[in-house]
Structure 1
Amino acid sequence: MKEQPARSLVLASEALSLLLRNDRKMVARVEASRQVGVPVHVPTLTIVEAVHGKTDLTRLKWVLSRVRVEPAGQEDSLTAVELLQYADGLHGHKHAIDALVTALALRVPAPVVILTPDRDDWARPCESRVIIKEV
Structure 2
Amino acid sequence: MARRRLSHEGTLVLDSEGLSKLLADDETVVALVAEARSRGMEVVICALTIIEAVHARTNKARLNWVLSGLRTVPVGDEEAKAASALLTGAGLHGHKYAIDAAVAETALRQHRPVIMLTSDIDDMTKLCGDRIHLVSV
Taking structure 1 as the reference length, what is the TM-score of the superposition? 0.92
Equivalent AA in structure 1 for residue 73 of structure 2: E
Match of 1:11 in 2: 14
Note if contact 2:9-2:40 (Cα within 8 Å) is conserved in structure 1: no
What is the alpha-carbon root mean square deviation over aligned residues?
1.5
Give 1:52's aligned amino acid: H
Q: 8 Å contact 1:8–1:38 — kept in the other structure?
A: yes
Q: Secondary structure at the match of 2:117?
A: strand
Q: Report the more deviating stretch, 26-35 or 118-127.
A: 118-127
Structure 1 residue corresponding to 2:40, chosen from 17, 37, 51: 37
Give the CA deviation at 1:78: 1.1
Query: CA offset at residue 4 of structure 1?
Result: 6.5
Which amino acid letter does the alignment assign opposite residue 73 of structure 1? G
| Contact 2:9-2:39 at 8 Å conserved across structures | no
Mapped partners of 1:133, 1:65: distance in 2: 23
The runs of 5 or more residues in structure 2 that have no matched partner are 1-5
Could you tell me which amino acid in structure 1 is paired with residue 44 of structure 2? H
Q: Number of aligned pairs? A: 132
Measure the CA separation in 2 of the matches of 1:122 and 1:33. Answer: 20
**Partner residue, 1:67:** 70
Q: Give the TM-score normalised by the residue count of structure 2.
A: 0.90
- Percent same amino acid at aligned positions? 46
Tell me if the contact between 2:104 and 2:127 (Cα under 8 Å) persists in the aligned partners: no
